[in-house]
Structure 1
Amino acid sequence: MKYLSEQEIIKINRYVIHKYSPSEPVGVIHSTALNMIVETPKQNVFGKELYPGVIEKSAFIFKSIIQKHVFINGNKRTAFLALNMFLNMNGYKLNVDKVEAVSFTVKVATESLTDKEINTWIGTHTEKMI
């Protein structure tokens, strides 16, 4: 399993800010939360992975970046690109149109979706790359 580093997620955030809203400030607000987001998917509890599969790990990263509000700006955009990048790094691709991607990302930010609901949405829109 390949994992995103803190630096890679920070680079994603810088990219989305510079590309889509260059007048917004760039930076990390909660470095400890960012560290937790990077390290938690790797954890084992009593010999079992806390997040056992690619979908579960990617969902945790996606949801956490959005809900922990790690960055000054661009958290939802960063979360979506981090989700996509994590899946790609591990041999999967997200298959969703822009409208649905934006809608679901906003839903994660504004509603109390369960981990299962987020996992299901990501799993439904993900396919193994050949």
Structure 2
Amino acid sequence: MEQKLSEEKIVYLDLEDVEDLHKENLERDGGLPGREPGKLEAKLALPMSGYGGIEFYPTLGEKAAVYHYHLASGHCFFDANKRTSYTAMVLFLDFNGYDLIAESDDLYEWTRMIADHNTRPDFKHAVKWIEDRMRKL
């Protein structure tokens, strides 16, 4: 399911949003605080990136996948990268009027695969996985 954004205003995640999610994940499930300087900022800029007026990730599904894929695999934080990546993706979709319909075990397994360089699917597969599970609120 592809959502063209054309004239819709997209609400992106900012640094505070993701740092708050990370903190909440650590408080709830434990882990080490802290992050690599600059890495998170770089990953958060990706969904908005483009060149010459053309977006690299024009659909909402692609933008959600960028957050999930690159936060899980980019290891911006010392701990809780997987938890933060999927909660960031879900929050981004929610900000933009969508929900992700997935069993928690499936979401966990999918996120684990993305975070592991030995099992990581290609990005297009990640986009399809998310778009197949997105539902308008």
Please report the TM-score for the alignment, with normalisation by the length of structure 1: 0.92
Distance 1:89 1:128 in 2: 11
In the TM superposition, what whole-angstrom CA distance separates every residue of 1:76-128 from its partner, at most 9, and x where no partner exists?
00001000000000011000111111111111112131111000000111111
Q: After TM superposition, which residue ranges in structure 1, 4 or more long, deviate above 6 angstroms?
A: none
Instruction: Tell me, yes or no, if structure 1 residue 102 matches structure 2 residue 99.
Output: no
Distance 2:91 2:109 in 1: 19
Instruction: Tell me, yes or no, if structure 1 residue 50 matches structure 2 residue 80.
Output: no
Structure 1 residue 44: deviation in Å? 2.2
What residue in structure 1 maps to residue 35 of structure 2?
28
Distance 1:65 1:47 in 2: 25
Instruction: Tell me, yes or no, if structure 1 residue 92 matches structure 2 residue 98.
Output: yes
Structure 1 residue 25: deviation in Å? 2.0
Instruction: Tell me, yes or no, if structure 1 residue 75 matches structure 2 residue 81.
Output: yes
What residue in structure 2 maps to residue 65 of structure 1?
71
- The structure carrying a bigger helix percent of its residues is 1
CA RMSD of aligned residues (A): 1.0
Structure 1 residue 34: deviation in Å? 0.8
In the TM superposition, what whole-angstrom CA distance separates every residue of 1:8-37 from its partner, at most 9, and x where no partner exists?
10110010011011xx321112x3121111
The one-letter amino acid paired with 1:63 is Y
Please report the TM-score for the alignment, with normalisation by the length of structure 2: 0.88
Instruction: Tell me, yes or no, if structure 1 residue 3 matches structure 2 residue 12.
Output: yes
Gaps of 5+ in 1: none
The one-letter amino acid paired with 1:88 is D
- Percent identity between matched residues is 25
Aligned positions, number: 126
